[in-house]
Structure 1
Amino acid sequence: MASAEIKPKSTSRAKTWSEEVENLYRFQQAGYRDEIEYKQVKQVAMVDRWPETGFVKKLQRRDNTFYYYDKERECEDKEVHKVKMYAY
């Protein structure tokens, strides 16, 4: 039984880097809005994270291939403005 899809009420662009922006960057690279959408689409309860940083470690794309991420920051300053932040 599929749960009702949660839709964001508004969206904005990230202005400065943060851990939240870093993780959003990773979800958006893999083709999802954010962790909420990823969990809905993939029907998973937990997302693989690096214990040291809390950053997303591995994501399954919609075509079922995987993205693997470093424990270090990957979203460079020049990429920050591309990250969309959703409000629910």
Structure 2
Amino acid sequence: MRYLITGRAGCIGSHLAESPLEAGDQVSVIDDLSTDSIRNIDSIFNKPLLSELVDDSDCVIHLAAAVGVKLIVESPVRTITLNVEGTSLALDAA
């Protein structure tokens, strides 16, 4: 089975990827590794890359998000907008 995990570098994504990898399944990821910043979802806005990864996957697990109390307090509208738009792109690609 081929999985795509968006936001794989986060706590949930890193643990979630372990089981399919141990079973010998293929896991692709999209994450820019900046979990302490609003930038952690930028890569999901790369529509051609996202579409290619989704097309090559049997299962998509969308976890990419801007997280953290500080981010949400400092930029609540931007954070929520980016999270909603990122989810919308992931759903559209699927």
Same-fold call, TM > 0.5?
no
Q: TM-score, normalised to structure 2's length?
A: 0.22
Greater RCO between the two (CA within 8 Å, min separation 6)?
1
In proportion to residue count, which structure has more helix? 2
In proportion to residue count, which structure has more strand? 1
Q: TM-score, normalised to structure 1's length?
A: 0.23
